[in-house]
Structure 1
Amino acid sequence: MDKQQVFQILQTINAAYARFEVTDERLILWSEMLQGMDYSKVNARLKQHIKENRFPPSISEISVYEQPANNHLEKVKQWEREGAARIERDKNRPKPTNPYR
C-alpha cells in the first residue's frame, strides 16, 4: 500500500469518526505499519469496522497480513511420487549375487 492509499484510509476514518484527526505524524506511522498490505483488503476491514464499532480503529484492527504460501503438501506428494518410481525401478533391477554362498 502506498502513501496515497494510506491517506485515503485515514480520510475515510476521519469522515466516519468525528474525533479522528489526520496528521502528518499519523500518516507517517500508518504508512509504515500498513506497508506491504493489500489496500482493498484493508479497506474492506475498515468498512466492516465502521459498520460495527462506534470508535475509530487502531492499526491492528484493520491490518490484513497475507499468509505465506505453504508448499509442504505439494512436497510430500512429490516425495511420494519419487518414492513410488524408485520402488518400481528397484523391483525390475536384478538382485546382486551373494559372494558368500
Structure 2
Amino acid sequence: MEMTEEQGLEILRRITAAYPQFDLDGPVGEERIELWVERLLKMPYEPVLHKLNHYIDAHHFPPTIAQIAVELPLDNGFLKQQQVWAAQVKAERESGRMKTFLDYLPEELRGTYSRLLEGTHSDK
C-alpha cells in the first residue's frame, strides 16, 4: 500500500527533527519537499518509517531518498494462482477424490495410454 501525502510529510518532519541540517526552508526547501514527497508516495509507509528509524540510529548525516527507499512488492498473479492450485490439490487429497492425469486425457487417448501403462506394469 502506497503512502499518503501526510505520511510522506511525516517522514520529512522526522528527518528534520533528527537532522537539523536537513533544511526545508526557502525555495530549495520547497523543491526538496516536492521531490521527496513525490518519491515517497510510491513507497509503503511502515517499511520506510522502519528503515528511517534504523538509519537515524546509525548515521550522523541525513539520508538520501535511496537510503530509506522501499519498493512495493510486485503483484505476482502467477504466484497467487499457484497458491489457489495448491489449496485445490490439498482439498482433493483430503477428500479422497484425487484424480490422475488419465482423468484429464481426451477419451480417445485414455484407452491407448491405459494399455501402455498396463504393458509397463506387466514387465515388472
- TM-score normalised according to structure 1 size: 0.71
**Which residue is 2:46 aligned to?**
40
Once residues 94 and 14 of structure 1 are traced to their aligned partners in structure 2, the CA distance between those partners, rounded to angstroms, is: 75
Counterpart among 1, 4, 25 of residue 31 in structure 2? 25
Unaligned runs of 5+ in 1: 96-101
1:75-86 matches, cutoff 5 A: none
How many residues end up aligned between the 2 structures? 90
Counterpart among 63, 76, 83 of residue 69 in structure 2? 63
**Which residue is 2:118 aligned to?**
none
Once residues 41 and 18 of structure 1 are traced to their aligned partners in structure 2, the CA distance between those partners, rounded to angstroms, is: 23
Once residues 36 and 44 of structure 1 are traced to their aligned partners in structure 2, the CA distance between those partners, rounded to angstroms, is: 16
Q: Deviations over 1:21-71 (max 9, x none)?
A: 122211110111112211111111111000011110000111110221443
Once residues 53 and 42 of structure 2 are traced to their aligned partners in structure 1, the CA distance between those partners, rounded to angstroms, is: 20
Q: Deviations over 1:62-95 (max 9, x none)?
A: 11102214435828x67xx7xxx57313497334
Once residues 47 and 21 of structure 1 are traced to their aligned partners in structure 2, the CA distance between those partners, rounded to angstroms, is: 19
Percent identity among equivalent residues?
Answer: 31
User: What amino acid does structure 1 have at the position aligned with 2:22?
Assistant: F
Residue aligned with 1:94, SS: helix
Once residues 48 and 86 of structure 1 are traced to their aligned partners in structure 2, the CA distance between those partners, rounded to angstroms, is: 52
Once residues 17 and 6 of structure 2 are traced to their aligned partners in structure 1, the CA distance between those partners, rounded to angstroms, is: 16
User: What amino acid does structure 2 have at the position aligned with 1:16?
Assistant: A
RMSD over aligned Cα, in angstroms? 2.8
**Which residue is 1:94 aligned to?**
111
Higher helix share: 2
